[in-house]
Amino acid sequence: MVRSMSDILTITLNPALDVATSVDAVVPGPKLRCAEPRYDPGGGGVNVSRALLRLEGSSQAFVAFGGETGSMALSMLKAEGIDVAHFPTAGNTRQSFAILDESTGKQFRFQLPGPVWQPDQTERMRAALEPHLAKGRIAVMSGSLPPGVPAGIASTVNQMVIDKGAQLFLDTSGEALEAAAANPGPPFALLRMDGAEATEVSGKNFASPAELADYGRELIRSGAAERLVMSIGAQGTVGVTVDDRFFCCPPKIETLSAVGAGDSMVAAIALELSRGGSFRDAVRHGVAAAGSAVMTPATQLCSKATADEILEKVVTEEI
């Protein structure tokens, strides 16, 4: 039974228990004594829901948690006040690690694979997800896929979402992103990727925001998506539709941790669009939220106060 019908539903099939800590220096050989760890529920859609809460929005989180690590992450997510639609899965939810080398200030990130899904589990997930889709809702499918889940599952979910009169925003990577770029079905309402992912998918190098926008327009014309959001790290983010293309540039920001920046961006974009904002304004809010997230240490996400301050300094350029 659906317990909430907030405007935004997040979908996380491969969540994580995020662990963040630090060491004096990352060197091979000796045991490295770590500082007290920080634990957070993580994974793409989970972080989008958590970021929405920090931006004074709300969502329902459809999450596939399993095992002891999954139970821990589930309890933490509920404790934050997020409405969780739990899809129980076999095996233990994966862990991810963010290690700060205090001698250099560099952050090392390690991610374990998720539990392997069998075909029947994918089918059960689709059946469990269907009641949570509703007309007018924005569904955000974000993060990697568990081993065993077909790379094209997002297109299947997209058709389910469209059939319900909703729209799907997709933010994924690897083979799942390649499948999305070659999406054979109806276009995704929004597809997000960064410049490196665009290079991996297309086999092309992009020397400028304009070249990245050209590739985004290609994807739109091919029917992959209606809107593209393409980030170039600290430089800014390209927004593309069939008849518009622009580049949002943030002010110079000191990066403490890149964890959750993309998820914070997607959260702010979905929130602004759910409130009737324009696509340009949504991307501006996304850039500001991402900037806020990189200013926080370890696995912490954005804050509304900081995002609002950055928003005033985001510059939008025509490309």
- Out of 7, 263, 281, 308, which one is annotated catalytic? 263
Half-sphere exposure of 119 (CA within 13 A, CB side): 0
Residue 228 to residues 55, 199, 231, 280, 293, Cα–Cα distance (Å):
22, 15, 10, 11, 21
Any residues with CB less than 8 A from the CB of 111 and at least 6 apart, and which? 16, 94, 96, 97
With tokens 């510059």, the residue in question is: 315
Residue 123 to residues 149, 165, 266, Cα–Cα distance (Å):
10, 21, 27
Residue 121 in contact with residue 27, Cβ under 8 Å?
no
- Look at strands 237-240 and 138-142 and give their pairing: unpaired
Residue 263 among the catalytic residues: yes
Residue 185 to residues 28, 41, 263, 282, Cα–Cα distance (Å):
48, 32, 25, 25
Residue 17 in contact with residue 72, Cβ under 8 Å?
yes
Nearest Cα residue to 188 out of 149, 141, 128 = 141
Residues tagged active-site: 263
